[in-house]
Amino acid sequence: MRIKKHPILTWDKGKKVKFFFEDKELEGYQTETIAAALHASGIKEMRESEEMHRPRGLFCAIGNCSSCLMIVNGEPNVRVCVTKLQEGMRVQRQLGKGELQR
């Protein structure tokens, strides 16, 4: 889902990194958000709502709407639209509220 050719823009993506989505190993770039890297791999479902277990994805992409909360390296409620990707990150769908690590 990456744009190959664009009439006015180019992207300086920097270093490629590997990360995990559930059990899958994926690639992305350090300069992009977790949400961007997931969309580049065609993954749109980020979490399930608390009561109705409805799938939820990215909506505002600027950290305002809380639609894209995921579990990152064990920590729940991470807004993946404003959190940058890092080498080796473990990203999981969040089901419901998510529990804090002790």
Partner 1 sequence: MKNVDIAIVGGGPAGLCAAITAADLGAKVILVEQDDALGGQLVKQTHMFFGSEKQHAGTRGIDIGTMLVEQVESNPNIEIMLNATAMGYYPDGVLGINQEENFIKIKPLKMILATGASERMIAFPNNDLPGVFGAGAVQTLMNVYGIKPGKRVLMVGAGNIGLIVSYQLLQAGVEVAAIVEGSPNIGGYLVHASKIRRLGVPVLTSHTILEALGDREVTGAVIAKLDEKWNIIKGTEQTVVVDTICLAVGLTPLTELIDQGGGKLAYIRELSGYVPIHNQELESTVSGIYVAGDLAGVEEASSAMVEGKLAGAVAAKALGYKPKAAEQIIEEAHQELFDLRSGPVGAGIRAGISKLQEVRQRC
Q: Which residues bind partner 1 (CB under 8 A)?
A: 1-9, 11, 13, 32-33, 36, 39-40, 44-46, 49, 54-65, 67, 81-82, 84
Q: 57: which 2 tokens?
A: 């994805």
Q: How far is the CB of 84 from partner 1 (least distance, A)?
A: 7
79 half-sphere exposure, CB direction, 13 A CA radius: 11
CB of 28 to partner 1, least distance (A): 10
Residue type, 63: G
- Minimum separation from the CB atom of position 36 to partner 1 (A): 4
Q: How far apart are CA 78 and CA 99, in angstroms?
A: 12
